[in-house]
Chain A
Amino acid sequence: MNLLRRSVIILMLSLIWPLALSAQSEKVPTASELIAAMDANLTAKTSIVTSRMVVHGRRASRTITSKSWVEGAEKAFTEYLAPPREAGTKMLKLEDQLWTYSPQTDRIIQISGHMLRQSLMGSDLSYQDMMEDQSLEDVYDGVVEGSELLNGRDSWVMTLTAKKEGLAYHRRKAWIDKEWLLPMREELFAKSGKLLKSSYAEEVMQVEGRWYPKVWVFKDELKRNSKGTEWIIDEIAFNQPIPEAQFAKAALRK
């Protein structure tokens, strides 16, 4: 009996030992390192993006096409191209301020206060979600909790907890693909711990030597039966020169 028990233990150790060795050899990155690695993929000095947003309603879906010019995390200009009802609508974000222009009314409106919490074009995203431009590292305490398989791919699991007041989401949890160094899934939590929103990358692509999400799905988790909102990148170009006039309020009416 003792011999049998000893044999089982030796067998188990022989199976676990190589795994333990490989785990020991894999260095767990710090949250700062992971955030920096993700930023290297996701951010650029400038980017010009043509994308589609597919908003799934209860009865039908709408596809909204837009082109955006982005400089850093603080300047962004978006023009909606389709459908005809939204075509010509423009949006300008400069630091913490957001303006929209509607060709139907020919008026520029600043979105602020409670309006920032409203849905962007009927999607599961709010204007506030669009406005987030602070570095995660500056406002959250990050902890890499380990690794998990997500859709069969090895990912780091990182939890971020707010270290200052006034952030929209108190806690975030992200699954970062170890190879692509992209956040493949993110969950946003309320102070009470309730899951409010989630997002995940459904498809990734390689552009100019970096990995980037091709299809990104956002979902308001409090809406039951919500199919979420898909954001599909059709074209993206990094570090192209963008004239300063593109980020002027006058560009909204052009």
Chain B
Amino acid sequence: MLLLKLALKNLLGAGTRTWLNVAVTSFSFVLIVFMSGFYQGFLEYAQQVTLETEVAGGAYWHPAYDPDDPFTLDDAHGIPPGPVSEQLAAGKAMPILLTQGSIYPEGRMMPVMVKGIPPNQNIVTLPTEVLGEYTGSAIPVLIGAGMAHSAQLEEGDVFTVRWRDAHGTYDANEAEIVSIMRVENPGVDMGQLWLPLGKLQDMLEMPGEATYVVAASGAELLADIGEWQPKPVMFFMQEYLDVIEMKSSNAKILYAVLLAMAAMGIFNSQVLSIFRRRKEIGTLMALGMIRSRVVALFTAEGGMHSILAFILGAIWGGPLLFFVATKGIPLPYDPTEFGVIMAPRLIGVYGIGMILGTTLLVAVIVTVVSYIPARKIAKLKPTEALTGRSN
């Protein structure tokens, strides 16, 4: 205890040098927590939006369906198997039918993915009921704000849509935008047209068929359904986990640079401190303090930088992180244009485990870099140290 008190007294006595090191360390500490919280916030938001707008309780895919391979789409349609049909009838799932098509807004050709969805569904949070309320003669279409922006379409616009039916014959007709939905998930927005399922089944001559079926949240995802493949929620979330893992790996380089900056400052001041305080070290040893305790004293002095950095970081970084966690930082651009799920405001999620882990990491690194120069003390002879010389 005496050692810690002495270390703290010495540290505070060093004045500006200590506070400069503490400031740099606290900056690194807060920035690491801030960025880790941002990635966690991004992950949680992406998962929540994906669940609400697209995945719900998982899905059953047609055996030929592979969203990464558009070649499979021509064959990826069929009547869902018996057990899944029972879930459909009970309202615990909804079928989605996909096809590729082209639209001609203002005569410009754009390739699109045409998706059929039951208008009265309540499994995902897309406002599909507007499709059922349409009474016009054109094909009613619901699109996302990102799609509307890229195709320069507005509500009420009429344009030609072209597709091929189940037999490969071209067909085309007029479609009308009945609503533009604001949705943060580009997976249900960019390059996509949402049509009433029955209408699309008629257009494609695929009565009762679907490409995949989305199960409702909380509904049991059936495993034994023949050739169709059940896809649990985690299957869809893996994509985001992979992105976060990749991003976190990149961020670790930045963390290393920040920590190296803080560590170099502390290391440097430790070396200087030991050089300038040789007489003090010699006196302590002459008074009977064993070498290991002198090393411990200097290591504790260095290590205490991390405690002061944590306190300073809490003072200036705490309110900042609290603000980011509650209010968020508004983005200066529309995130839907980037093709990834991002909240319009960056919200950080700071778990206690993450904060404690970061604190521990900073403390260990600071203590290690404090110990390395302090080892030199073990080689000092008290007589030489007292005269101010060192070997």
Contacts and interface: CB of A to CB of B under 8 A. Distances in A.
A169 B170 CA distance: 6
A222 B169 contact: no
Interface stretch (B3-11, B67-75, B228-236): B67-75
Interface residues of B, number: 22
Contact of B71 (A112, A162, A190, A222): A112
For B106, B167, B170, B171, the residue with the greatest tally of chain A CB atoms inside 10 Å of its CB is B170
B320 interface: no
A117 B172 CA distance: 14
Nearest to B108: A223
Given A167-B169, A170-B170, A191-B170, A222 B164 contact: no
A173 to B, nearest CB: 15
A215 to B, nearest CB: 24
Contact of A190 (B74, B109, B168, B170): B170
Interface residues of A, number: 23
B71 A191 contact: no
A225 B107 contact: yes
B104 interface: yes
Nearest to A165: B167
Given A112-B71, A114-B100, A223-B109, A166 B167 contact: yes
B74 A114 contact: yes
Interface in A108-159: 112-115, 117
A113 B167 contact: no
A224 B160 CA distance: 11
Nearest to B173: A192
B169 A170 contact: yes
Interface in B319-372: none
A196 B70 contact: no
B165 interface: yes
A107 interface: no
B169 A165 contact: yes
A107 to B, nearest CB: 17
B108 A168 contact: no
A125 B70 CA distance: 21
B160 A191 contact: no
B106 A222 contact: no
A194 interface: yes
A224 B167 CA distance: 27
A222 B167 contact: no
Q: Is the interface of A mostly helix, strand, loop or mixed?
A: loop
Contact of A192 (B104, B106, B167, B171): B171
B162 interface: yes
Contacts of B170: 168-170, 190-191, 196
A224 B110 CA distance: 13
A226 B106 CA distance: 11
Interface string B157-189: 000101011011111110000000000000000
For B74, B109, B164, B172, the residue with the greatest tally of chain A CB atoms inside 10 Å of its CB is B172
Contacts of A186: none
Interface string B122-139: 000000000000000000
Nearest to B70: A114
Nearest to B99: A114
B168 A166 contact: yes
A181 B70 CA distance: 42
B169 A168 contact: yes
B162 A190 contact: yes
Contacts of B172: 190, 192, 194, 196, 222
Nearest to A164: B167
22 contacts: A113-B70, A115-B71, A117-B164, A165-B169, A167-B168, A168-B169, A168-B170, A170-B171, A190-B162, A190-B170, A190-B173, A194-B160, A194-B171, A194-B172, A196-B162, A196-B170, A220-B109, A222-B104, A222-B109, A223-B107, A223-B109, A224-B106
Interface of A: 112-115, 117, 162, 165-170, 190-192, 194, 196, 220, 222-226
